[in-house]
Amino acid sequence: MTEYNEQLVKEAIDSGATNAIMAEALGVSERTMRRWKAKLASVGYAPEADMTRQCPDGFRVKGVSSLYNKDGILSAQWVKTTTDDDRRLALLMETVSTLKEEIPAIRAVVPPVAKNANLLNVYTISDYHFGMLAWKPETGDDWDTDIAEQMLINWFAQSIHQAPDADSCVFAQLGDFMHFDGLESITPSSGHNLDADTRFSRLVRVVIRTVARIVDMLLAKYPRVYILMAEGNHDLASSVWLRELFAARYMDEPRITVETRPDPYYCYEHGLTSLFWHHSHKHRMAGIDSVFVAKFREVFGRTRFSYAHTGHLHHRDLKETSLMIVEQHRTLAGADAYASRGGWMSGRSSTVITYHKQYGEVSRITVSPEMLH
C-alpha cells in the first residue's frame, strides 16, 4: 500500500501495534505512518488519546478537553471543531469539476467587425460585494443583491456605449465580487459576521446570470474579450469556481479568454503596454510594483508602459514609481454598516481605461451610480 486509505490506517491504529509494525504492514515508512496518524488526529481520531469522535468532512479539530474520574476513566469530553479551509477548497474543486461536465459550452458566434487593433478597453470593477445588505438610514445608501445586479448591468451598458471602438477588452473584476463565500455569511479567513441579504444558493445564481449577461454585451462590441475574476479576501473560494465555471462555459468560444491562474497576481500584455492586477489583500500598494516585476519578469522586460491595479480599500489612490503606475480603485457598491460606523467613506465609481499598444494609457471614462439611468 502506497496511497492513503483511511479505513486501513484506522484498522492498523486500532490494532495497538507500534508505528514500525503498522508501517511495515501497510508498506510505508515510519515517517509516513506518523504523518497519517497525525492526519487522522487532526479530524478527531486518535484512540490512544481517547479521541474517537471524528468530525465531518470539511472540518478539523480545534481542541479537545477530556475529563477523567478518580479512577482515570474518561467520563466526559468536549471536541471543538473549526472549518478546514484546505479541505473545503478541495471539496469545492471536486464540485466545480462536476459542474463543468454538466455545463454546455457556448458555441462560437460571428464576431463584430474589427475596428481598432491598437486599442484595449479595460472595464475595472472592484469590491462589488454582491450579497451585501446595507440600509440607507444607517449607511447612506441602500444595497442588496437586486440593486447590485441592476446597477452592474446598467453600468456596463452605459460604459460600453461610451467606450471608444477597440478590437479587445478586459473585464477586470478585481476581487470581493461576492460579499460572503459560503453557506455562512462570514469572512472566510477571520470569521467576522457580515450583513447579508440572501441565501448563498441564490447569490450564486444571480452572480452567474449577471456575469453571463455582461460577457454577452461585451461580445457584441469586441472581437476579443479577456475575463479576469481575481481572488479577494471575501471570496477566496468563490473566485475559484467563477474562473473555472466560465472557462468551461466559453471553452468553445475562441474570442474569449478566461484567466484561470490560481496565484492571485495577474498580467496582460498589449503591445508595449503591460497591465497587472492584484486585489491587495496579500500585498498593499507599497512595493507591489517589484512583486509584479518579479512574477512577470519577461512581460515587464518586453514592455515600455506598465500599470498595476488594486482594490480592497474602496477608495482611489495613485502612485507613480520608477517601475510603473500603481492605482487603487474605488467601488460602485454602497458602504456596509461596518465601513460606515468605522468612518471609512469614499466616492463611488468605476472606470473604463483605454490603452494603446505603443503609447500606454490614452483615455479613460469614469461612470458613477448617479450617472446611470
Domain finish residue from 27, 48, 83: 83
Please give the Cα distance from 123 to 367 (Å, whole number).
Answer: 11
Residue 10 lies in a domain: yes
- Let me know whether 194 and 61 are in one domain: no
DSSP letter for each residue of 30-56? HHHHHHHHHHHHHTTEEGGGTEE-PPP
Q: What is the pLDDT of residues 165-195, one digit of tens each?
A: 999 999 999 999 999 998 889 898 888 899 9
- Let me know whether 45 and 107 are in one domain: no
The pLDDT value given to residue 332 = 98
The pLDDT value given to residue 31 = 83
Q: What is the mean pLDDT of residues 52-65?
A: 70
Domain finish residue from 25, 58, 83: 83
- Let me know whether 17 and 63 are in one domain: yes
Q: What is the mean pLDDT of residues 36-50?
A: 79
In the predicted model, is pLDDT for residue 139 greater than 90? yes
Residue 92 lies in a domain: no
Domain that holds residue 169: 99-371
Residue that is written with C-alpha cell 468563490 in the block = 238
Helix (H, G, I), strand (E, B) or coil at 291: helix
**Number of domains into which the chain is organized:** 2
Q: What is the pLDDT of residues 296-348, one digit of tens each?
A: 999 999 999 999 999 999 999 999 999 999 999 999 999 999 999 999 889 99
Residue 88 lies in a domain: no
- Let me know whether 73 and 185 are in one domain: no
- Let me know whether 211 and 79 are in one domain: no
Residue that is written with C-alpha cell 457598491 in the block = 333
Instruction: Place 37 in a pLDDT band, splitting at 50, 70 and 90.
Output: confident
Residue 157 lies in a domain: yes
Residue 90 lies in a domain: no
In the predicted model, is pLDDT for residue 40 greater than 90? no
Domain with 245 in it: what CATH number?
A: 3.60.21.10
The pLDDT value given to residue 230 = 98
Helix and strand element counts for the chain (H, E): 11, 15
Residues in the chain: 373
The pLDDT value given to residue 196 = 95
- Let me know whether 186 and 329 are in one domain: yes
- Let me know whether 196 and 292 are in one domain: yes
Contact 281, 314 (CB under 8 A): no
Residue 89 lies in a domain: no
In the predicted model, is pLDDT for residue 154 greater than 70? yes
The pLDDT value given to residue 365 = 98
Pick the most confident of 3-7, 12-16, 120-124: 120-124
- Let me know whether 71 and 213 are in one domain: no
Domain finish residue from 54, 83, 112: 83
**Mean pLDDT for the chain?**
89
